[in-house]
Amino acid sequence: MTEEDLLRRVAALLAEHDTGDRTAFLRARFDAGLAWVHFPEGLGGLGAPIALQPVVERALAAAGAPDNNPRRIGIGLGMAAPTILRHGTDAQRARFLRPLWTGEEVWCQLFSEPGAGSDLAGLATRARRDGDDWVVTGQKVWTSSAHTARWAILIARTDPDVPKHAGMTYFICDMTAPGVDVRPLRQITGEAEFNEVFLTDVRIPDAHRLGDVGDGWRVAQTTLMNERVAIGGRPMPREGGMAGVVAETWRQNPELRTPELHDRLVRLWVESEALRLAGQRLRESLAAGHPGPEGSAMKLAFARLSQRLSGLEVEFLAADGLRYGDWTMRRPDVVDFTGNDAGYRYLRAKGNSIEGGTSEILRGIIAERILGLPAEARVDKDVPWKDLPR
């Protein structure tokens, strides 16, 4: 597969389908293998190198074709899709991947709990088998986009009599099913982009189980590794993201510049560009089916850099940086790290070191799995979950 091959396919797509009908065009693009070119044929891809995806994006953007609003469906694209592709059945891939990519069905992630955030394997949400269904009861928290989601990726405890990492199973949960209750959590920005979700006797068919019973932790690792890349290493143009926003603030306010602030901004800009290029290489590794601990390093670096950049912008703007335009309660459809004003960016960036794995946990992963340092002592490794103190 070459660039010329892809451009011919793009030209054929544009010639045969009306770009004015957004949903129909996106469905046709998926069917043509131009959604994820690195996915298998028949599942939105062509089995081509992921490095060729920008060729498709540029050609379609130049033609004015609609995109699938990736910021709105980021959890589906970055977390659910690679997990379904790797661990799902043929029927699950055929059912879920196409509407996930076109944005017709939004996804959320039901992982964290009030008593199991950083220690995700300690989760207490229970799933018990009842014929061809599983009945799930528990509480999840910090669930971004749960208020707009049609489906959720969910891990629950199916065997409390084995150690905590061994007794979990991974499911696809219907967010419209009876017993699912979504409640907003207002955050420091004033918004409620995430929620707490209560599950009361929610029935999930066994056909919506991903992976084997009791193998949920291994399946979840695919999600988590991809999540960290989706947050810290997502595709971005040069001077994209927070670095571009802060650089533009600098350009628009020459009267506020100082040599010291200029030196700090340049250093952060260089770090941002290095992170962007590292993210590109890591995405290629993920596309080859090799998610690893490097995603943790990317996400850790992203959080640290985003907070330093947004802090520099507030400091640069002085009194104006303390203004906050709108603190009204909203439940946005899109998670926006860089929108609104400098005050919003500064506050929102604080969450970067929590979401997708706390920075403290990620440092432990990097120390053990990348640097090869001795592992922390774990006294609960071989203890049945039901015997752990909570």
176-209, pLDDT tens digit by residue?
999 999 999 999 888 898 899 999 999 999 999 9
Same domain, residue pair 248 and 166: no
Q: Which residue, among 292, 206, 280, 290, has the nearest Cα to 236 in the 3D structure? A: 280
Indicate whether 54 belongs to any domain. Answer: yes
Indicate whether 93 belongs to any domain. Answer: no
Same domain, residue pair 237 and 299: yes
Indicate whether 271 belongs to any domain. Answer: yes
Same domain, residue pair 199 and 224: no
In the prediction, which pLDDT does 288 show?
A: 59
pTM, entire model? 0.88
Same domain, residue pair 170 and 252: no
Tell me the sheet residues that pair with 156.
169
239 is catalytic: no
pLDDT digits (tens, 9 = 90+) for 139-185: 999 999 999 999 999 999 999 999 999 999 999 999 999 999 999 99
Same domain, residue pair 362 and 224: yes
In the prediction, which pLDDT does 292 show?
A: 66
Query: Which residue is catalytic, options 191, 227, 294, 313?
Result: 227
Same domain, residue pair 199 and 184: yes
Q: How far apart are CA 322 and CA 341, in angstroms?
A: 10
The residue segments making up the domain with residue 37 are: 1-67
In the prediction, which pLDDT does 119 show?
A: 87
Domain count, the chain: 3
Indicate whether 98 belongs to any domain. Answer: no
DSSP code of residue 379: T
95 by Cβ neighbours in 10 Å (0-12 / 13-18 / 19+) ranks as: middle
CA torsion angle 216 218 219 223 (round to 10): 120
Indicate whether 386 belongs to any domain. Answer: no
- Token couple for 220: 């979840």
Q: How far apart are CA 209 and CA 284, in angstroms?
A: 28
Q: How far apart are CA 283 and CA 334, in angstroms?
A: 23
Indicate whether 380 belongs to any domain. Answer: no
Indicate whether 232 belongs to any domain. Answer: yes
Same domain, residue pair 207 and 224: no
Q: Which residue, among 282, 306, 278, has the nearest Cα to 292 in the 3D structure? A: 282
Q: How far apart are CA 243 and CA 233, in angstroms?
A: 14
Indicate whether 44 belongs to any domain. Answer: yes
What are the phi and psi torsion angles at 181 (to 5°)?
Answer: -125, 115
Dmax over CA atoms of the chain, in Å, equals 71
Same domain, residue pair 119 and 180: yes
Same domain, residue pair 246 and 131: no
Helix residue ranges, H only, the chain: 3-16, 22-31, 53-62, 74-75, 81-87, 90-102, 216-232, 241-252, 259-287, 294-317, 342-349, 359-365
